[in-house]
Amino acid sequence: MLKRASFAVAAVAAVSIASGAQAGTLDDVKARGILHCIVNTGLPGFSFTDANGRWSGFDADMCRSVAAAVLGDGEKVKFIPATGKTRFTLLNSKEGDVIFRNTTWTFVRDVDVKLTFIHTTYYDGQGFIIRKSKGVKSAKELDGATVCIQTGTTTELNLADFFRANKIKYTPVPIEDSSEARKNYLADRCDAYTTDASGLAATRATFEKPSDHVILPEIISKEPLGPVVRHGDNQWEDIVRWAVFALIQAEESGVTAANADQMAKSPPNPDVARLLGAEGDLGSMLGLDKAWALRAIKAQGNYGEIFERNVGPKTPIGLERGLNALYTNGGLQYAPPFR
Amino acid sequence: MLLKLWRNKETRSVIIQIVTIALLFAFFAYIINNAVLNLQALGKTFSFDFLKEPASYDINQALIEYTSRSSHARAMLVGILNTALVAVCGIVTATVVGFLLGVIRLSSNWLAARLVYVFIEFTRNVPVLLHILLIHGIIVHFLPLPKQAINVADALFLSNRGVYAPRPEFLDGFVYTTVAFVVAVIGAVLFRRWAKKVQEATGKIYPVFSICLGVVVVLPLVVFLLSGSPLTWEMPKMGRFNLQGGVVMLPEFLALWLALSLYTSAFISEIVRSGIMAISKGQWEAAGALGIRRNRTLQLVIIPQALRVIIPPLASQYLNLTKNSSLAIAIGYMDIVATIGGITLMQTGKEMETMIIVLLIYLSFSLVISAFMNWYNKRIALVER
């Protein structure tokens, strides 16, 4: 018996050594032939499974763009749904290659949790939604209210700070993910639900009667949301960052999914030529080929197209571009030059 | 030489043990080293300093003073107390319900026995997580809003935000009632000891239980009324959003407590049944032949012997219940896993440290329960005279 136990120990030790091997994320992804992308378990407009069982939304589409740039095919993505609490562990344990899950960029996460934030793909802020029938006009009137909140997120801290600063009391109801939060809010377990304003709009769009609910005017925090990679793999960080910038630059230069091939053949200016790989070889500097950005743009369209299709004013979610417009239109989206 | 040692049965077993221990140590050394290296590779430090930092989050059920400015250590303490609360309440309820069900299951009343049988089979064959979600769902979806809370005799207010009860407020004279209660309890204990001595000496039996109960209830009650009923109740009142004041049991606590109690009680009832069934019919008949009444037989002959069969598996059920309470996470009850192992972990990124803490806390909970149950088991074990 003892002997058998010692064999088992040796076997386990051997397996652990074998799995301890390290490699760059790009090599891993290429070898695997599929991109592992950590997304929200279900947030309409950002990442959710649609009626056909396909992952869709703003974050899911951006992930496909990265897959197209790296692997040549935007469908070669495995989506790994994660709650607010599991996402960083999944990333750091290499279950996923990148997080595209409305994740707020903060000092502690960047510096102490050892994550690398790529870019703010969506500028957001935390708000409250409440039933119109409760007759609340401002978040400062929420004294004594019960508030549903997604646990493990920055919104939890902002909420505590907001109520403390305004010297009013509340009862938090911590909840694992947005669909649970929606259920509890609709069952009136809580008076108000708080999360990023984009998430509130997305959630409200799924209600039977969205007009019965109002998003309060206060935005109580800055929530810069964007993709995240592991600390320390600079090549992979650059790839994800510039794939995102390529989508933003494409919008600025008027490159769309429809005209990208045309533009690549006869670029209207040197900027577009470099972006689409008709001139120079930016791709090889990333460890990719020349057409990486062209593929990323063709996969799901440029930044503006992705935004309009998933969360824009014409969708049920109906978010304005606001801060997320290009800098040329008074927003904050701005890609550094491709040269 | 080595071969010779190997052929000898005794030295061989020593060699095998040494090798096993060496491998075991090597294994632990490897995984610890692996953890250290990986933390280093990520540039993370290993330290518990974060416990002193302000937690910055709120907790909806705290048995001790807690604000978002309190430290992570304090938040951890709140979590520990919440786990302890639900574990203790669950263990008490599960034991009482389990014993009742176990006895009813043995009753000669066909309907009662069958009903309990169906209940037990349903309860213990559905995962406890589903029980928790089911009860939480029922409370949240089917109980009315606080404005229309169901008022049970002004003592309980049932709503989907929780069950509210009036909070007792003790006035100045209440201390006499407390003193009377303590005196009554001491008196009851002394009386019980004296009655036992009398019984052993003369065989005279006093109705010890009813006398003790009478003293413990009546004496404080009389003092309470004489001192002018120094107790008022703070009633929950409807505020703008919720009932304010009074004591509240949140739906999350209720769901977890009830689900764990019912689930575990099903197992306990079977343990109780097996304990009672384990006592041979001859014991009943022997006691009957000595002229001992049926309830005395149960109390003096059957239960003491049944307990010896019941206690060890019962201890396992208590441990299970305590550990199952970590399913609190599914409905957002703020136990250890939700506080230090959840929000603190997320906000500080100290996975290793917080998980070690959570692990140690559960371990110590379990060891305390084990130690207590082992002590009790030893106490009731067959004493050979």
B227-237 residue pLDDT tens: 877 788 888 88
Q: Each residue of A97-112: pLDDT tens digit?
A: 999 998 999 998 888 8
Crossing angle for the helix pair A292-300 and A234-253, nearest 10 degrees? 60
CATH fold label, A126-221: D-Maltodextrin-Binding Protein; domain 2 (3.40.190)
Q: Does A315 touch chain B (CB under 8 A)?
A: no
User: Is B228 among the domain residues?
Assistant: no
User: Is B299 among the domain residues?
Assistant: yes
Q: What is the pLDDT of residue A57?
A: 94
Do B342 and A2 lie within an 8 Å CB cutoff? no
Question: Whats the size of chain A, residue-wise?
Answer: 339
Beta strands A35-40 and A98-104 are parallel
Residue bearing tokens 């909806």: B60
User: Is B181 among the domain residues?
Assistant: no
> Above 90 in pLDDT, residue B12?
no
Cα gap B328→A138, rounded to integer Å: 33
Crossing angle for the helix pair A58-71 and A292-300, nearest 10 degrees? 150
Cα gap B240→B161, rounded to integer Å: 14
Mutation target to probe the B interface, by most B beta carbons within 10 A, among A113, A141, A164, A168 is A113
Distance, C-alpha B132 to centroid of its chain = 16
Q: What percentage of chain A exceeds 70 in pLDDT? A: 93
Residue A140, class by beta-carbon neighbours within 10 Å (0-12 exposed, 13-18 middle, 19+ buried)? Answer: middle
User: Is B364 among the domain residues?
Assistant: yes
Cα gap B290→B311, rounded to integer Å: 28
Residue B306 sits in a domain whose CATH number is 1.10.3720.10
Distance, C-alpha A85 to centroid of its chain = 15
Cα gap B326→B101, rounded to integer Å: 26
Q: What percentage of chain A exceeds 90 in pLDDT? A: 64
> Above 90 in pLDDT, residue B146?
no
User: Is B357 among the domain residues?
Assistant: yes
- Contact call for residues B253 and B93 (beta carbons, < 8 A): no
- Contact call for residues A292 and A286 (beta carbons, < 8 A): yes
Do B41 and A232 lie within an 8 Å CB cutoff? yes
Domain that holds residue B61: 40-141+250-385
Residue range(s) in chain A whose domain bears CATH number 3.40.190.10: 24-123+224-325, 126-221
User: Is B306 among the domain residues?
Assistant: yes
Q: Span A247-259, mean pLDDT? A: 95
Q: What is the pLDDT of residue A154?
A: 84
User: Is B222 among the domain residues?
Assistant: no
Token digits for A253?
């230069």
Q: How many angstroms separate the CA of residue A164 from the nearest CA in chain B?
A: 8
CATH architecture under which domain A24-123+224-325 falls: 3-Layer(aba) Sandwich (3.40)
User: Is B255 among the domain residues?
Assistant: yes
Amino acid at B89: C
- Quickly state the pLDDT bin for A23 (edges 50, 70, 90): low
Of the candidates A92, A114, A146, the beta carbon closest to that of B161 is on: A146
Number of domains comprising chain B: 1
- Which B positions 27-86 lie with beta carbon below 8 A of chain A? 27, 30-31, 34, 41-44, 56-60, 67-69
- Quickly state the pLDDT bin for A190 (edges 50, 70, 90): very high
pTM comes to: 0.80
- Quickly state the pLDDT bin for A21 (edges 50, 70, 90): very low
Q: Span A115-129, mean pLDDT? A: 93
- Quickly state the pLDDT bin for A6 (edges 50, 70, 90): very low
Q: Span A137-155, mean pLDDT? A: 89
Predicted interface score ipTM higher than 0.85: no
Cα gap B25→B33, rounded to integer Å: 12
> Above 90 in pLDDT, residue B243?
no
Q: What is the pLDDT of residue A83?
A: 86
Q: Each residue of B260-271: pLDDT tens digit?
A: 999 999 999 999
